[in-house]
Structures are given as C-alpha cells and as structure tokens.
Amino acid sequence: MKVLKFGGTSVGTVESILSVKKIVEAIDEPVIVVVSALGGITDKLLQTSAMAAKSDVAYEKEFSAIITRHLDVIEGVIPDLETRRSVQRRAMGLLDELGNILRGVFLINDLSAKTSDTIVSYGERLSSLIVSHVIKDAQLFDSRKFIKTVKQFNKHIVDFEQTNQLIRETFNPLPKVSLVPGFISTSRDNGEITNLGRGGSDYTASILATALDASVLEIWTDVDGFMTADPRVINSAYVIDRLSFTEAMELCNFGAKVIYPPTIYPVYHKNIPILIRNTFNPEAPGTYISREKEKYDGKALIKGISSINDTCLITVQGLGMVGVIGVNYRIFKTLAKNGISVFMVSQASSENNTTFAVRNADADLAVEVLNKEFASERAQGDMNDTVAEKDLATVAIVGENMKRTPGIAGKLFGTLGRAGISVIACAQGASETNISFVIKREYLRKALNSIHDSFFLSEYKVLNLFVVGIGTVGGNLLEQIRLQQPKLMEQNGLKLNIVGIANSKKVLINRDGINLDNYREELMTKGMDSTPDTLCEQVLGMNIFNSVFVDCTASPDVAALYARLMNGNVSVVAANKEAASSPYENYQLLKETARHRGIKFLFETNVGAGLPIINTMNDLRNSGDHILKLEAVLSGTLNYIFNTIGPDIPLSQAIHMAMDAGYAEPDPRIDLSGKDVIRKLVILAREAGYRVEQADVKKELFIPDTYFQGSLEDFWKNIPKMDVEFEEKRKHLEGENKRLRFVAKMDNGACQVGLEAFDSHHPFYELEGSNNIIMISTERYHDYPMIIKGYGAGADVTAAGVFADIISIANIR
Ligand code: ADP
Ligand code: ASP
Ligand code: MG
C-alpha cells in the first residue's frame, strides 16, 4: 500500500482537485490519501478567529468568504446532483458549527488555544469531506479518532504507542481508497481537538505510512520536487533527483518548507522512502528520498541550501567560564526547563563564550532565565550579562558528500567574503553534513544567491550590472551587451544581467534582468524618480551579489557615490573621469577600498577611450618596471580640431564639427581649456605611481582664459575672434612642414600640458582624426619608448573599453 498526501494548493481549486482524482484513481493498489485544508484556509481561519476575538464585526465577512469558497469548490467538483446536495448539506452542517464557535469567540472576546485548535480543524474536516466524494469509492476517515497527542510545554506531540495501535485497528481491513484529513488530532488524555502544527498534514501521512508499513510515502505539492534552494528566493534553483533522509532532514529542519520537519523521522526508521511530486505536473519524476547516500557525481559538492530568517543569537560570556566544568550544562538545562528550543550552537576553543541561536520570540525569555541562572557569577564579575542580537538569519548548506571533502568551508566563506557579507557565528558538526552560519537578516537574499551561484551554477558566471547614464557611451554599451550576450554565454559562460538602468531623472530596477530591446521606453514608463542619493540606496538596497556599478555619466554627483557603493562590495567601472582625477586622497581611498574589499575599481576609458593604456601601465609596473616618462596626445577632440582646421574651416567651425561628431565633452570648454587633458594626465601620472594633483600640472593654453569666463553662450559668441590668429599660425607651420598638437607630458612626476609643433619625423606628426597617442618610457622601454596609438574618442570605442573592464571583473571569481 501507499500513502499519498496532497497539500493545500493541490486541493485548493476545482482543477487541482480533479488532478488529484486522476492521480489517485490511476493507482491499482490500496492507497491512503491525506489532504490538507483548501489552500490558504488555515490562515484564513486563524485570521477570522483573531478578528472575532477582537470584537471586529468584519470577521463575519471573512467567514462568509470561507463559506463561499467551499460551496464553490463543491459545485465545481461534484457533477452528480444528488451527491452534490448531500455534500453541500454536510459541509453546511460543519460550517454552521464553525459559525457558532466564531460567534461565541466574538461575544466573549476570548480565544483560547483550545478554541483556536478547534476552529482550524474545520479546514481539514471540510476538505477531506469534499475530496472523499470526488475520488471513486473513497472511504472517509476521521483522524481525530486515531491520531493521539500529549502535551509537552506548549506543543502537542504524538503518542505513538496509542496512535499506531489505533491506526492498525482502524484500517483493518484496508479499503482500496481511504481519505484522511491531515493535521488534526485529539488529546490522548481528554479527547480535546489538537493538531500537529502548521504544515502538519505531511506528518499525518508519515505516521500512517509508518504504522501500516507503506511501500512509499508520496508528498504531492506545487513544485516539481525538493529543490536546491527555496524557489521563491532563488529562481535558478532546480530539482534534486535524490536525497538521503539525513540530507532531507537537515534541509527541512532549516526552513525548506516543502516537508514539515517531523515528517521524516518515522519513515526513516522504517526505511520507507519519500517521494516529492507535483500535482500540477504529474509527469515530473520528483525527488526520491531514501536511506541510500548518492555517490558524488562530480558536479555539486552540496545538495541544497536552506535558511530561516527568524534568528536571535544569544551569547553567554565571561572570563570566569574558561575551563570551568558545567557552564554549558547549566545554560542548556535552563533553556530546556523553560521550553526554549536552540537550533545552532557555537563555542570557540577559548571557552570564554558560548553562542547559540533561538527564534526571536524566545530571545527575551532566554536572556531573563540565563541572567537569573548566572546571577551570582555576574555579581562577582566572573560572567557578563547575557547578550541577545536579534533580527538575524541563519543559512545552512547541506550534503553528505561534504564529508571528508576539503575546501567546502573555504569555498563557502570565500563566496560570502567576496559578496561583502560578514559571518557573525557559524557551526559545523563532526558529521560534516551541514555547515550553518548566521548573518544579518538584510544580507540573506544576497547570501543565498551568491552561494547558490557558486555551488550549483558554476557552469556559468553572472555579473549583475547597474548602468548609469544612457547617453552616447551608455547607450552604445547597452547595445553592445545586447548583441554580444548570446556569444558571451556560449563561449565564456558569462551572463551579464542588467539589473538597473538610470539616467539623470529615473531609475529602473529588475533583479531578473532588464530586457534590452526596449529599456528606454521602460525607463520612461516604469522607472522611478531618482537622485544620485536614492540611486545609491537602490543599488545597495538590492543587496545583489557580483554587482558592478557602471558609470557612463560625466557627473561629479554620481562619482561621489563610489565610496559608499564600494563599501557595499559593489565594483565600479567608470567612464566618468571625476573620481580618478579628484583629490589624490579620494583616488587613493577608492583604490584601497577596492583592494581591501576584493572588488574592482576600473576606469580604463578615462584616458584614450578604449586604448589599453592604464592596463598596460599596470602590467608594466606589476612586472617590476618603473614608468619614468609619459608623452602623449590625449585629447581626441583637440586633435580632431587641429587636423580639421584649414583654409576653408576656421577654428570655431572645427569646434562645432568636433561636437557634432560626438568627440567633445558635453561642454567643449572642458576640452579647449585643457582641463580634460589635465585630468587625463593626472590619472596617468597616478597610475604610473606618482602623487599628482590637477593644480600641480603646468599649463600653456592656446585660447586665452577670458574665453572661458562667462556662459557657454558667451563662449560660442566670442570664439570666432580666434579664427584669424589660428589660421595664420597654422599656415606658418604648414610652411615649415609642421603640425600643431596639444601635448601632455610627465617626467618623473612633473606634469605639464601645452601646444607644440612637430615635424614629420616625430611620431606625433601623423596622428589622424581624433586619434590619441602615448609614448611610455620606462626602465625597460628606455631608448625606444612603448607607443600606443589609435582612436582616442568616440562613443563606440569608449563603450567597448567599458565593456572590456566589465568582462575583466568576471574573472575575479
Ligand atoms: P503544501 O501546501 O503542498 O504542503 P507548502 O507550501 O507547504 O506546500 O510547500 C511547498 C512550497 O515550499 C513550495 O511551493 C516552495 O515555494 C517552498 N519551498 C521552500 N524551499 C523549498 C525547496 N528547497 N524545495 C522546494 N520547495 C521549497
Ligand atoms: N492546513 C495546515 C496548515 O496550513 C496543515 C497543512 O497544510 O499541512 O498548516
Ligand atoms: Mg506543507
């Protein structure tokens, strides 16, 4: 024989009950079917009774919704008119009783535990009544008659001796199909209605399977099986084919809601396997839980991850504990006497404190009774007051293959470290099937995601990107990512998940990834209003692992967010030059934060767009070389202008053309005043190992300062005045076969920028369009400097450089 249990969602609607009918009727051996209340009804009964107890007359409305729900289901699942009428009558009989009890609660404003237990029992009594008339030849039983409980602290626990005997008597002979309400029971001593705790129908089924030596216990629910993590939190969680009883027990005890924890113990003892199946997808094979330990298949080192977010850590400490025998005995005896359950314990070998985890609701009582227990030691100063830290979360990774496998704890804690999550306490027993740790509750989701990703999805890596600024560079970048994504996934196993996009006004956030086909429209219609500050909060608030903030703006306000972001373990890729050229202290702090946190702060495109200048200099220095001198043409805009001016194109027009071609900064004065080149030179000098500020750079400008005072409009009005002078200069140099270049130089830390003329023998002479060139002299590249040359401006090459920075971050895991 088999025992099948169908949970609330499996009997929640007309369609699902009809699936149950199909599944059960296809079985050709005796079967006991255990059912929960219709999905959500237990919660509703508890809410309604709480309202009634508070004299809230609206309870009546809730109650009538409960009546309607049941009557509607009966209407839908029982086609035969006569049977339907009879079931309706019996259901109404039960609902009338329930209505009277609720009315009583309403009138006397009192809801005892006993009354509450009676009220919730109607959920399973009604559902079993209904389903018993849907499945052919099903015989309805009343579990209150054979599941017997005794009280221990505030819990009803099963009296197995009596229960087993009653079950064997009740199901002898065993009908072809028996229908049993789950969850409910009665007290062995006084016959009052009790229950087995929330989710207890699983346990009812297990008790029946054990007492009657079933061949299998099947738990039918609304997912395809036991999954590697809670699918409501981790959407990449997948079904585990096989689990051992121990693994299943470890996972359920720790929050995997799919099986009510006490369920496993009885069947485990009798070696009856459990099968988890999906009522809504009966073809799926489900998860098979048995005594057999699965051989390591070379893939996942662990089986699953589970968590509970209701955690309080209690610490008993004091130097007077060291080496003293009996302190732990007294701690746990005191807790046990007060009915406080402890689910994790950690004591370091220094013995000066013992930390353990309890539910938040038990915390105050635990502190009180422990302070009382150790009152005299505290008075003498041998021990401190007991400390409680509430609102934490506990996570466990589970798997029998962890046994004797080195490196699992390393991988776990390494993953958490990279995600910037600090572990407050941890525990691993010598059975080595479970490593549990406690973290701040706000980090739970991030912890689960990063651990799941690192242990189960190692075949591909995910980077979660926030892209800020969707102008020319940001827009190009998103388009390049959109086009390249399939290849990256296929060839490199890298998934770039765009979880946030923002412009100066709005931000769009989606953990599952924003569709790049129409993000502009979505940002406009669904984006939230945002400022740099709220943007930062959104990014940090998402608490997402492997995250990268990509700044494609030119905004100092956005650059000012980096430190906060990096302290939240978010890497930063900046096309924005503000941060790297800001005061040295800030630049250094950002670089140090990145190093300390194990994340990246990359800004290759700050100089020479996509040209690999900063990376090359870093490689040189990392291999022991010293950068002595830099000479460079670093402004694509200025170079374009000098290459464009001629007899027919005066300076002012060339500036306009540089703007139109998208080379210039949004405000061209930043280029023409040399400010942009100064920033770039400062960044290069710093990356070359010198402490330089913008004010240290000597400058010889080619447009007098007066042109830069006043508004942008004034500038455009005045600049044509320079045209004649410039054309003369150009003509004169042309006669000498020379060309003008705006050059940045660094010599042992001394920096300067200015206009220079070069003849055709110099590498700077041939520098077409908006190209940049840099000559790097080092101890090794001395007589012949290293030269890097190419497009130094333009949205597509800059975006490609940002893209390359992003990809280099993917290698950090
Ligand atoms: P039922 O009403 O059938 O008893 P439950 O809601 O009690 O169903 O349990 C099934 C739910 O457990 C799933 O819908 C899923 O959201 C949740 N769950 C949490 N952790 C896991 C896990 N590791 N594997 C599968 N389901 C899980
Ligand atoms: N109906 C009960 C509950 O919701 C028991 C169960 O569904 O297993 O907790
Ligand atoms: Mg359940």
What pLDDT sits at residue 813? 38
Mean pLDDT, all residues of the chain: 93
> Which ligand is in closest contact with the Cα of 220?
1
232 to 229, 252, 434, 635: CA distances (angstroms): 9, 15, 22, 51
Asked if residue 9 has its Cβ within 6 Å of ligand 1, the reply is yes
CB-ligand 1 contact for 199 (6 Å cutoff) = yes
Pocket test for ligand 1, best of 201, 230, 258, 281 (most atoms within 8 A of CB): 258
Query: Distance between CA atoms of 195 and 149, rounded to whole angstroms?
Result: 8
Whole-angstrom distance, CA of residue 534 vs CA of residue 519: 20
Of the bound ligands, which one is closest to the alpha carbon of residue 198? 2
Q: Please, what are the domains in the chain?
A: 2-222 (3.40.1160.10), 304-454 (3.30.2130.10), 461-607+804-810 (3.40.50.720), 613-793 (3.30.360.10)
Separation CA 45–CA 126 (nearest Å): 12
Residues flanking ligand 2, CB < 6 Å: 7-8, 36-37, 42, 123, 182-183, 198-202
Ligand 1 and 231: CB distance under 6 A: yes
Whether the CB of 500 sits within 6 Å of ligand 1: no
- Residue located nearest, by CA, to atom 5 of ligand 2: 199
Crossing angle of helices 113-132 and 14-25, in 10° steps, is 60
Counting ligands in written order, which one lies closest to the CA of residue 7? 1
pLDDT value for 491: 87
Distance between Cα 254 and ligand 3 center (Å) = 14
Q: Which two tokens stand for residue 471?
A: 């102008």
User: Is the CB of 263 inside a 6 Å radius of any atom of ligand 1?
Assistant: no
Residue located nearest, by CA, to atom 1 of ligand 1 = 7
Give the pLDDT score at 406.
83
- Write the CA distances from 37 to 127, 136, 379, 538, integer angstroms: 5, 20, 53, 40
d(CA 45, CA 358) in angstroms, rounded, equals 28
Model confidence at 298: pLDDT above 70 = no
Q: Taking CA 617 as the corner, what is the angle to CA 615 and CA 620, rounded to the nearest 5 degrees? A: 110
> Does the beta carbon of 232 sit less than 6 angstroms from any atom of ligand 1?
yes
Q: Which atom of ligand 2 is nearest to the CA of 196?
A: 5
> Ligand 2 atom closest to Cα of 203?
8
CA–centroid distance, 252 to ligand 1, in Å, is: 10
Q: What tens digit of pLDDT does each residue of 240-280 get?
A: 999 999 999 999 988 889 999 999 999 999 999 999 999 99
In the β-sheet with 216-221, what is the strand arrangement from edge to edge?
138-140, 177-181, 31-35, 2-6, 216-221, 274-278, 287-290, 242-244
Q: Which atom of ligand 1 is nearest to the CA of 306?
A: 23
Distance from Cα 36 to the centre of ligand 2, integer Å: 6
Residue 91 has pLDDT above 70, yes or no: yes
Ligand nearest to the CA of 9: 1
Give the pLDDT of residue 155: 85
CA of 198 to the centre of ligand 2 (A): 5
Specify the ligand 1 atom closest to the Cα of 219: 3
775 touches 611 (CB < 8 A) = no
How far is Cα 146 from Cα 6, in angstroms, rounded to an integer?
20
Q: How far is the CA of 311 from the centre of ligand 2 (A)?
A: 23
For residue 474, the one-letter residue type is: G
Using the predicted structure, report yes or no on whether residue 194 has a pLDDT greater than 50.
Answer: yes
What average pLDDT does this structure show over 363-380? 93
The ligand 2 atom nearest the CA atom of 123: 1
Q: Which of 5, 558, 546 is nearest to 259 (CA)?
A: 5
For the record, the structure tokens of 408 come out as: 């699992």
222 lines ligand 1 (CB under 6 A): yes
C-alpha pair distances (Å), 768 with each of 249, 645, 775: 70, 13, 16
Pocket residue to mutate for ligand 2, from 6, 10, 16, 42, most atoms within 8 A of Cβ = 42
Dihedral over Cα of 13, 19, 20, 22: its sign: positive
Pocket of ligand 1 contains residue 19 by CB under 6 Å: no
CB of 258 sitting under 6 A from ligand 1: yes
Q: Which residue has the higher pLDDT, 326 or 766?
A: 766
Q: How far is the CA of 43 from the centre of ligand 2 (A)?
A: 9
Residue 315, burial from CB neighbour count under 10 angstroms (0-12, 13-18, 19+): middle
pLDDT of amino acid 149: 97
- 3-state SS, residue 798: helix
Task: Kindly give the number of the ligand 1 atom that is closest to the alpha carbon of 276.
Answer: 25
* 252 C-alpha to ligand 3 centroid (Å): 11
Note the residue count of the chain.
Answer: 813
- Among candidates 278, 23, 219, which has minimal Cα distance to 138? 23
| CA 8 to ligand 2: nearest atom | 7
Q: Is the pLDDT of residue 532 over 60?
A: yes
Residue nearest to atom 5 of ligand 1 (CA): 258
Write a three-state SS string for 625-692.
Answer: CCEEEEEEECCHHHHHHHHHCCCCCCHHHHHHHHHHCCCCCCCCHHHHCCHHHHHHHHHHHHHCCCCC
Cα separation, 110 vs 100, whole angstroms: 14
Mutation choice for ligand 1 from 221, 227, 249, 448, CB with most ligand atoms inside 8 A = 221
pLDDT of residue 297: 63
Ligand nearest to the CA of 255: 1
User: Residues near 77 by Cβ (< 8 Å), separated by ≥ 6?
Assistant: 14, 17, 18, 21, 130, 134
Query: What pLDDT sits at residue 812?
Result: 42
Contact 407, 385 (CB under 8 A): no
Query: What is the Å distance from ligand 3's center to 36 Cα?
Result: 8
36 lines ligand 1 (CB under 6 A): yes
Helices and strands, number each (H, E), in the chain: 28, 31
Atom 8 in ligand 2: residue holding the nearest Cα: 199
Determine what percent of the chain is predicted with pLDDT higher than 70: 98
What would the two tokens of residue 755 be?
A: 């206009």
- Number of the ligand 2 atom closest to the C-alpha atom of 7: 7
CA of 223 to the centre of ligand 1 (A): 7
The answer to whether residue 675 is catalytic is no
pLDDT at 383 (0 to 100): 86
Within 54-144, residue ranges assigned H as helices are 59-77, 81-108, 113-132
Q: Which residue out of 46, 119, 183, 193 has the highest number of ligand 2 atoms within 8 Å of its CB and is therefore the one to mutate?
A: 183
Distance in Å, CA 191 to ligand 3 centroid: 26
Q: Nearest residue CA, atom 26 of ligand 1?
A: 258
Mutate to test the pocket of ligand 1, among 257, 263, 281 (most ligand atoms within 8 A of CB): 257
Q: Which ligand 1 atom is at minimum distance from the Cα of 232?
A: 16
Whether ligand 1 lies within 6 angstroms of the CB of 250 is answered as no
- In the set 148, 680, 745, 789, the catalytic residue is 680
pLDDT band (50, 70, 90) for residue 636: confident
Alpha carbon of 42 to ligand 2 centroid (Å): 6
Measured distance CA(162)–CA(188) in Å, rounded: 8
Q: Cα dihedral sign for 423, 425, 430, 433?
A: negative
Across the range 118-145, mean pLDDT stands at 97
CB crowding 166-203: b at 16 or more within 10 Å, else e: bbeebbeeeeebbbbbbbbbbbbeeebbbbbeebbbbb
Ligand 1 centroid – CA 248 distance (Å): 13
Torsion from C-alpha of 60, 65, 67, 68, nearest 10 degrees: 140
Can you tell me which atom of ligand 1 is nearest the CA of 251?
23
Lowest-confidence pick of 128-137, 331-340, 459-468, 553-562: 459-468
